[in-house]
């Protein structure tokens, strides 16, 4: 078996291959730990499937109003079981993670309420949902105010600032688990639990919502197990396992989920309607595969962190740090570095490998964004992908990888592009 010959044919030279293979020798123990976590979460998923009596009949879809859709309704019970919620809304009609978050916020806030982010600025696309940047239909247009408390040194919760920010109008707290386009840490479930405990100690009735995108199945527990009232995510990220072609979820307290269902469809209808068409099978099978797919993505992220850290770049999280999500940030210090990294990821893709990614004015962002993603599902960031805004400090955000060999190739190809353009050296 001449694996090296295949790597050469995939444009990986001997220097890049030697650097990568030598580095990976030191990551075996770390990868074994990831496999242990994947096994635990896989068993958790199987248990939920069995307890909720998933059957072949669940794979049949529905049309029209979608009344009595066994597959859709059972899937929501499975999600509630896995994530330890009272109820769940898992729908193809939720178009993306931002839509799921907007739905959760708009359905559980009323005019005169205030939304608080105790972890600094939220992800870019939520700025228009909230009204930080003016947009039609924002929370601000409906008389819902917003307040945020920035992190101390861009990493630690400002508990005193949070205490002062909570007032009689504060109704809902939004906690973004992943870093987004920021150079702050992603938060572990344990850290999120500490924050929620502090907040509820001040005002017990506050709704604590966690943006769970990119964090599902990374750790043993999920945020609902440590006090969150609602978790929200996208099916074309971790829980879709690379098979879900659309959709989003909200899991948590029954009242919070019901409010979201009535907003998604209509008052009086709620969860009773919403045809699943032919997506049930891919939603179930993707969820079944999700723990092992997430494990592959984690290995890719750890490989990337260690490789670029060894080459002198600032990486977040650091190579040896415990991970809270699948995203790896690398500060590349130049537009040329950001573009070269993304080209490498694109050139390693099984789909559209011949396409050269270019920065563009992507809706919802305040700067041009470059995105590399040769994916089977458009925009699926559980598949190997990388993106970043073309602005200081020129950080790239790498995530995904349905299989470990593909994630490995993607990072090696990014290193190769950087090397070919004289941006790095293995000497």
**Whether residue 380 is found in the same domain as residue 305:** yes
The CB density around residue 341, as the number of other CB atoms within 10 Å, is 28
Q: 141 and 110 in one domain?
A: yes
Q: Which residues, other chains included, contact 185 with Cβ-Cβ below 8 Å and sequence gap of 6+? A: 155, 179, 316, 317, 324
Please tell me whether residues 83 and 163 are part of one structural domain.
Answer: yes
User: pLDDT at position 123, please?
Assistant: 86
Instruction: For 50-66, write each residue's pLDDT tens digit.
Output: 999 999 999 999 999 99
Helix (H) or strand (E) holding 29: helix 28-51
How many other β-carbons are positioned within 10 Å of the β-carbon of residue 25?
7
**pLDDT, position 22:** 97
pLDDT for 363 beyond 90: no
Q: Are residues 26 and 91 in the same domain?
A: no
Structure-block tokens of residue 34: 């990831």
Number of domains composing the chain: 2
pLDDT in tens, 324-362: 999 999 999 999 999 999 999 999 999 999 999 999 887
- Considering the domain architecture, whether residues 95 and 199 belong to the same structural domain is answered as yes
Q: Has residue 48 been placed in a domain?
A: no
Q: List, in order, residues 6 or more apart from 409 with CB less than 8 Å away.
A: 7, 10, 12, 348
Is residue 124 scored above 90 in pLDDT? no
> Residues 217-250: pLDDT tens digits?
999 999 999 999 999 999 999 999 999 999 999 9
Give the end of a domain, one of 241, 275, 309.
275
Residue 295 and residue 266 share a domain: no
> What is the rounded average pLDDT of the residues 240-268?
97
Q: Assess if residue 167 is contained within a domain.
A: yes
The residues near 43 (Cβ < 8 Å, ≥ 6 apart) are none
Residue 56 lies in a domain: no
* CATH assignment at residue 193: 3.40.640.10
User: CATH no. for residue 332?
Assistant: 3.90.1150.60
Task: Write out the residue range of the structural domain in which residue 233 sits.
Answer: 64-275
**pLDDT single digits (tens) 90-122:** 999 999 999 999 999 999 999 999 999 999 998
pLDDT at res. 357? 94
Task: Report the distance separating Cα 256 and Cα 251, nearest Å.
Answer: 8
Residue 181 is predicted with a pLDDT of 75
pLDDT of residue 78: 98
User: What is the pLDDT at residue 364?
Assistant: 66
Q: Beta partners for 117?
A: 148
């Amino acid at each position: 078996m001449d694996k090296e010959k295949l790597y050469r044919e995939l444009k990986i030279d001997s220097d890049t291959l030697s650097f990568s293979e030598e580095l990976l020798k030191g990551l075996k123990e770390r990868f074994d730990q990831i496999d242990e976590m994947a096994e635990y979460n896989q068993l958790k998923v199987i248990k939920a499937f069995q307890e909720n009596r998933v059957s072949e009949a669940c794979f049949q879809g529905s049309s029209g109003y979608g009344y009595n859709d066994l597959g859709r309704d059972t899937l929501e019970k499975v999600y509630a079981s896995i994530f330890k919620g009272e109820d769940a809304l898992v729908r193809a009609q939720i178009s993306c993670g931002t839509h799921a978050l907007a739905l959760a916020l708009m359905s559980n806030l009323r005019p005169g309420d205030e939304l608080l982010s105790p972890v600094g600025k939220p992800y870019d696309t939520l700025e228009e949902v909230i009204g930080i940047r003016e947009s039609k239909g924002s929370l601000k247009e409906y008389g819902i105010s917003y307040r945020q408390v920035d992190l101390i040194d861009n990493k630690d919760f400002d508990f005193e600032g949070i205490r002062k920010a909570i007032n009689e109008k504060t109704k809902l707290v939004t906690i973004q688990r992943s870093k987004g386009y920021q150079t702050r840490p992603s938060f572990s479930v344990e850290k999120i639990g500490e924050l929620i405990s502090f907040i509820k100690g001040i005002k017990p009735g506050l709704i604590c919502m966690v943006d769970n995108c990119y964090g599902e199945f990374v750790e043993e527990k999920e945020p609902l197990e440590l006090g969150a009232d609602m978790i929200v995510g996208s099916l074309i990220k971790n829980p879709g396992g690379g098979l879900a072609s659309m959709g989003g979820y909200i899991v948590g307290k029954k009242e919070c989920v019901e409010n979201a269902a009535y907003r998604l469809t209509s008052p009086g209808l709620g969860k009773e309607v919403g045809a699943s068409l032919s997506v049930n099978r891919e939603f179930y099978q993707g969820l079944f595969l999700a723990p092992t797919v997430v494990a592959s993505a984690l290995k890719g992220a750890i490989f990337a962190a260690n490789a670029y850290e060894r080459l002198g770049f600032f990486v977040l999280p650091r190579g040896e740090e415990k991970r809270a999500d699948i995203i790896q940030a690398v500060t590349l210090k130049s537009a040329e570095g950001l573009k070269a990294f993304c080209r490498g990821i694109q050139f390693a893709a099984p789909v559209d490998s011949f396409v050269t990614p270019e920065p563009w004015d992507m809706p919802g962002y305040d700067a041009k964004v470059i995105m590399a993603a040769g994916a089977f599902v458009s925009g699926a960031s559980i598949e190997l992908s990388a993106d970043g805004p073309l602005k200081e400090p020129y950080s790239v955000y790498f995530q995904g990888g349905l299989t470990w060999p593909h994630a490995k190739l993607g990072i090696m190809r990014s290193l190769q592009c950087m090397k070919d353009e004289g941006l790095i050296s293995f000497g």
